[in-house]
């Protein structure tokens, strides 16, 4: 199925196809890896919306990437519960291992490191989310192993 058809099929679940914009953005991001303007325009075209509207929606949510991200995405929760039990040490461990600052992508485009708000794993803190999979809890000692997996995989 073409991306356009997939977007339309997902939107058809709703009484109003406008509601399909988020699922459409999700599908487009899966295909492109992020949401370049062409992807936004494609979602707009599929759903009979304007690209401006689609971009307005996409930019509202943290999980849509409007700039390129690495092949792998490492996200560290630094909200209260994680912070209280050492999230900052985990951030620093990743920064060390990856040679990146939080918010940066490695030069080879392999990894993006970023901090995120509460991921809903406060009882298993600190929470690290690698490629949308939760690693709970992650201690600074676990970091070299995770980075090794990313480099090996």
| CA 77/CA 88 separation, integer angstroms | 9
SS3 149: helix
List binders of another protein among 100-139 (CB under 8 A). Answer: 102-103, 114-125, 129, 132-134
Backbone Cα Rg of the chain: 18
**Min. distance of Cβ 91 from another protein in angstroms?**
6
Between β-strands 111-116 and 72-77, what pairing exists: parallel, antiparallel or unpaired? parallel
Shorter beta-carbon distance to another protein: residue 88 or 106? 88
Centre a 10 Å sphere on the Cβ of residue 38 and count the other Cβ atoms it contains: 11
Among 5, 31, 80, 141, binds another protein (CB under 8 A): 80
Binders in 37-56 for another protein, by CB under 8 A: 37, 40-41, 45, 49-53, 55-56
Q: Does 14 bind another protein (CB under 8 A)?
A: yes
And the tokens for 141?
Answer: 């000692």
d(C-alpha 22, C-alpha 26), whole Å: 6
141 touches another protein by CB under 8 A = no
Give the residues lining the site for another protein (CB under 8 A): 13-16, 18-23, 25-26, 37, 40-41, 45, 49-53, 55-67, 78-81, 83-88, 91, 102-103, 114-125, 129, 132-134
């Amino acid at each position: 199925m073409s991306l356009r058809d997939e977007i339309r099929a997902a939107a058809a679940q709703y009484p109003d196809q406008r509601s399909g914009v988020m699922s459409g953005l999700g599908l487009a991001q899966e295909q492109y890896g992020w949401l370049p303007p062409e992807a936004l325009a494609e979602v707009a075209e599929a759903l009979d919306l304007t690209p401006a509207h689609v971009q307005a929606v996409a930019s509202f949510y943290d999980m849509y990437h409007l700039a390129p991200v690495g092949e792998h995405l490492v996200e560290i929760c630094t909200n209260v519960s994680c912070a209280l039990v050492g999230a900052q040490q985990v951030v620093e461990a990743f920064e060390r291992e990856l040679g990146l600052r939080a918010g940066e992508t490695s030069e080879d485009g392999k990894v993006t490191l970023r901090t995120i708000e509460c991921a809903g794993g406060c009882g298993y803190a600190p929470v690290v989310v690698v490629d949308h999979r939760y690693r709970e809890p992650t201690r600074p000692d676990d970091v070299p192993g995770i980075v090794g997996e990313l480099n090996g995989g």
